A and B are shown apart, each in its own frame.
Chain A
Amino acid sequence: MKKTKKIKIILNGKSRSLQKMTSIYDLMRSLKLSTDKVAIELNKEIINKKTIKNLFLKDKDKIEIVHFIGGG
């Protein structure tokens, strides 16, 4: 049997499967999300948005993408 080329990550609390060698930049593009109004956390560490082209996701990575909403 061929080895799978997919990985599973947890994106904003939900499981998602991705191709291996997907960078956070690729993920953002596929989600059609612009980086300028969000913050990104990878395994509880805030990442520098300038480096996301070279940050490749691994199996079981937990990623959080947050933005501002209305609040008191």
Chain B
Amino acid sequence: MKDFFKIANKKFNSRLIVGTGKYKNFSECAKAIKYSGAEIVTVAVRRVNIVDKKKPLLMDYIDPKKITYLPNTAGCFTSKDALRTLRLAREIGGWKLVKLEVLGDKKNLFPDMIETLRSTEILSKEGFKVMVYCSDDPLMAKRLEDSGAVAIMPLAAPIGSGLGIQNYTNIKIIRNQTKLPVIIDAGIGQASDAVIAMELGCDGVLINTAIAKAKKPFEMAQAMKFAVISGRKSFISGRISKILHGSASTTNKGII
């Protein structure tokens, strides 16, 4: 059975999106992406290094024709900055599928949902397909959907914390109330967290730190790949219902 991951009418095979930050270098990052099987990677917009032009370029290591670049507004704390960043990203090469993240809190990196909502609305009107990093609040998720978001990306836990999914109930409610893809963004620490996200019914998972900062990033990239596949298959296979007592796996018929 073909089980595509669809975002804004684009089909992907892999449900794992990976970030390209925090790696030792681009070559390690490119190799980790290969191991992860991800077809979408997040990237950031920053100033070109005018002084040191020999500095390697991300695009030389990760071919945007083969891997979908998802420009992200990491580090933006206002709607104004986020809009500026994504408009520049579009100018670099026509990217319309983007990830919006407007942070409101330097310590926990929680999203500022007021600024996020405002930005989603403006960007959608400008023709962007906006995937939105958000809190795990079902009401906010609904409002994002109404503002034109193409994917809802609630955090599992603070960015880079590795704490895993903190609020199963809210994630499930967010999943069940929307037709949009729900992608867990931020807070994944280990493969089992990714499995749980997928078993809750999420459509995908975005992981950066848990892979980039693992002792063995390539092994972890692979672990996350299998975790997402495994969790998804488990979810769509329809699990058994939970019962309190034992139920024998072998029939008593013909017992000697």
Contacts and interface: CB of A to CB of B under 8 A. Distances in A.
A69 interface: yes
Nearest to B87: A46
B97 to A, nearest CB: 14
Nearest to B209: A72
Contact of B46 (A11, A49, A66): A66
Interface residues of A, number: 25
Contact of A72 (B42, B45, B58, B69): B42
A35 to B, nearest CB: 10
A71 B88 contact: no
Contacts of A72: 19-22, 42, 44, 72, 74, 159-160, 208-209
Contacts, number: 93
Interface stretch (B47-55, B116-124, B134-142, B233-241): B47-55
**Interface footprint category on B:** 20 to 34
B47 A13 contact: yes
Given A37-B57, A39-B89, A39-B92, A70 B71 contact: no
B44 A46 contact: no
Contacts of A38: 48, 92
B43 interface: yes
Contacts of A67: 45-46, 48, 57-59, 92
B93 interface: yes
Nearest to B85: A66
Contact of A68 (B22, B45, B53): B45
B63 to A, nearest CB: 12
Interface of B: 19-23, 26, 29, 42-48, 50, 53, 57-59, 69, 71-72, 74, 84, 87-89, 91-93, 159-160, 208-209
Given A69-B45, A72-B72, A72-B208, 13 more contacts: A12-B50, A31-B50, A33-B48, A33-B53, A37-B92, A37-B93, A39-B45, A39-B92, A40-B91, A44-B84, A69-B58, A70-B23, A71-B43
